Structure 1
Amino acid sequence: MKVELLLRPHPAWLEHLESLGGFDVTFPDDLPSELLRLTVPHEDVNAVIADRPEPGGPRWWLLERCVHSLVSTMGRVEDPPRFVPLPELGPYFYVHVYLAALPYTRRYHRELGVPEEVSWATFTDLGRNMAVHRKRHGTGGLHAPDWFMLHARGILYQLGRLQFNRAVLGPSASEAVTVAGLPVEPGSPSLGVHIPDFHGSLTPEECDASFELARSFFPRHFPGERPRVMTCGSWVLDDQLAGYLPASSNIVAFQRRFHLLHRFDDSEMLSFVFGREADLAELPRRTRLERAIADHLAAGGTWHGRIGWLPF
């Protein structure tokens, strides 16, 4: 297998990787314990170990350069070319990329003074997204392999129920925030807000605690950045849900925190709520949320993602 041939459809990424060259890559001595610490599902552990790339093997060239890309952009908000799914490399290739990058990320966290418990809460999103992959596809793998780039590069942190990543405002969001009276412009520092799966209910109390943690964590560990707003883009913010759910629901309470902006197409809702995609007639209606989503679609409606912001 010639890995470079797989990358030809992605010329910008290939050029970036070739410009970096090789890198010093090692794996944990006790790989099973490390995988379990990262909450990798037990049924995946043996397969991940068996799939480890060998030095000098056909996947090693790409492994070295992927790790080099992560480490060379550590802490930088600007994204490098993002990893793309390459099924030909096996379902766990990017798991090994992140395992090899983890010592460098941990060192970066220590240099910032990030508490150990925050570091490991953040890193366990690797195992979570392997569980998401199995939930959606019924097989082992890593869901959205580019997502964990934010964690591995020291950009995203799990703080209680929610995740927050360092970011900058785009033109449309900055315009809306400026109209609301806050002095921002395109490129101003901001925080992105994310709602991880497999982490319990989205209660107002737990969200309050997460936002308060974020408001103290980022000024302490990134004092050179002064975000004035946090933004979220999610199907959870589709205000059509408020027409189906009670005002006391956690989702509606979460929506009320935000000033809602434009809608966008979002294909994640059905997979996030139901797991594997199914025909409309086969969607379960076990919960109020499932009934709301299925009934809206059955009536000819469409769900959307929505962007929202709130003051930092």
Structure 2
Amino acid sequence: MGVDNIRELLRADPVTATWLEHLEAAGAPEFAVELPSADELPPILLELTVPHEEIDGLVVLLPSLKQSAGLWWLLERCAHVLVRDMGQIGRPQLFPTLPSEMGVMHRYFYIYVFLAVLPHVQAYHRARSIPDDIARRTLADLGRHMAVYHRIHGEGGLGTAFWLMLHFRGGIYDMGRLQFERATLGDTTGAALQAAGLPYGPGDLRLSVHVPAFSGPITLRACDMAFERAKPFFARYFPEERYEIATCNSWLLDDQLAEYLPAGSNIMQFQRRFEFAVRRPEPDDAGIVRFVFGQNLGALDELPGRSTLERAIIGHLQAGRHWYGAAGWLRL
């Protein structure tokens, strides 16, 4: 597949066409983009907790990527925008879903992008003196997201490359049960903080709290420990950035959950950590089904009702109601 073929594929969709313009504006990197050899690749993938059953396939695909002028052109520019913006706060121009016409590579391509960027983010972590265990756990989220993809789609690949951009440019860190992203307040949550009389507003620094999948229950103690680690971590390794506020934007903060879950449940205890800021205006039924059941939204009577939470989600939707994302904040 040549460069012109890749460009033609990406220009066929408005989302990927806009992204292509972004990559073309960035241009080729000044550094040499490299990938591990076939012999070097398996132990690196294991460090990133890539599912074992995926490793042989990723090794097999490696030569086809290196031998394709178009794929290599795309790889270089994707790696460039991550390395160029290493350490910056804020969401980057997101990696979009790639066209299915790219074959199996449309599910696996971004994994190779992150492998190409790996030495650069590791160098950034070393320059910041980030502890090795935290750096490793943070980057190992790659394997977790591959497992999530397989759970939802029943096949290998990676569907959340846009999210892992944060990990591979130094924007998010694993503190145990929770992950904390270096970020700034947006207009809506910033305005809510101002309305509450706090001296913070849009554009001010915040830590954005995220709850990764496949990490066990969000118990009170596990979350306490994550917050206890986070504040001194960022104060020590990012001393020029003062974080006094944390926010969370998630279905976990939908206040309707209180209609169904016991006050002492893990989710309600997590929810009460935060001062409610705003419920998002658009429903996110598909999102909560994907997170809780590990599958795309379909026939409700086919969803398993094994737990109080699962039965609540199903019953709520069957009643014609909707679930929403919501935002909350707390002082660190």
User: Corresponding residue for 2:9?
Assistant: 6
1-structure distance, mates of 2:194, 2:241: 18
Could you tell me the percent identity over the aligned residues?
A: 49
After TM superposition, list the pairs within 5 Å mapping 1:97-116 onto structure 2: 97-116=113-132
- Residue 276 of structure 2 corresponds to residue 233 of structure 1: no
- Residue 235 of structure 2 corresponds to residue 219 of structure 1: yes
Gaps in structure 1 of 5+ consecutive residues: none
After TM superposition, list the pairs within 5 Å mapping 1:1-312 onto structure 2: 1=1, 2-8=5-11, 9=14, 10-23=16-29, 24-29=32-37, 30-52=40-62, 53-86=65-98, 87-89=100-102, 90=105, 91-264=107-280, 265-266=283-284, 267-277=286-296, 278-312=298-332
Residues 191-239 of structure 1: per-residue CA shift (max 9 Å, x gap) = 1110000001100001001011111111111111112211111111111
1-structure distance, mates of 2:151, 2:91: 28
The answer to whether the 8 Å contact 1:12/1:81 transfers is no
2-structure distance, mates of 1:280, 1:47: 35
The answer to whether the 8 Å contact 1:40/1:126 transfers is yes
* TM-score normalized with structure 2 length: 0.90
The answer to whether the 8 Å contact 1:285/1:291 transfers is yes
| Equivalent position amino acid for 2:123 in 1 | R
Shift of 1:57: 2.7
SS in 1 for 2:161: coil
Deviates more, 1:32-41 or 1:274-283: 274-283
The answer to whether the 8 Å contact 1:188/1:227 transfers is no
SS in 1 for 2:181: strand
2-structure distance, mates of 1:48, 1:243: 46
| Equivalent position amino acid for 1:288 in 2 | T
CA RMSD of aligned residues (A): 1.4
The answer to whether the 8 Å contact 1:165/1:191 transfers is yes
1-structure distance, mates of 2:242, 2:177: 23
Q: How many residues align?
A: 312
The answer to whether the 8 Å contact 2:189/2:278 transfers is no
Shift of 1:55: 4.8
| Equivalent position amino acid for 1:13 in 2 | W
Residues 234-279 of structure 1: per-residue CA shift (max 9 Å, x gap) = 1111111111111110000000001112222323110111112331
Shift of 1:300: 1.9
| Equivalent position amino acid for 1:262 in 2 | V
Residues 131-183 of structure 1: per-residue CA shift (max 9 Å, x gap) = 01000010111022111000011001111110110111112211211232321
1-structure distance, mates of 2:24, 2:316: 48
2-structure distance, mates of 1:101, 1:112: 17
2-structure distance, mates of 1:232, 1:295: 25
2-structure distance, mates of 1:181, 1:211: 24
| Equivalent position amino acid for 2:305 in 1 | R
Shift of 1:108: 0.2
Identify the structure with the greater helix proportion.
Answer: 2
2-structure distance, mates of 1:88, 1:49: 21
| Equivalent position amino acid for 1:67 in 2 | A
2-structure distance, mates of 1:55, 1:65: 16
Shift of 1:56: 5.0
The answer to whether the 8 Å contact 2:47/2:140 transfers is yes
| Equivalent position amino acid for 2:287 in 1 | E
The answer to whether the 8 Å contact 2:276/2:327 transfers is yes
Shift of 1:11: 4.1
The answer to whether the 8 Å contact 2:97/2:159 transfers is no
* TM-score normalized with structure 1 length: 0.96
| Equivalent position amino acid for 2:303 in 1 | L
Residues 37-92 of structure 1: per-residue CA shift (max 9 Å, x gap) = 11111121111122221155320000000000100000111433211110333211
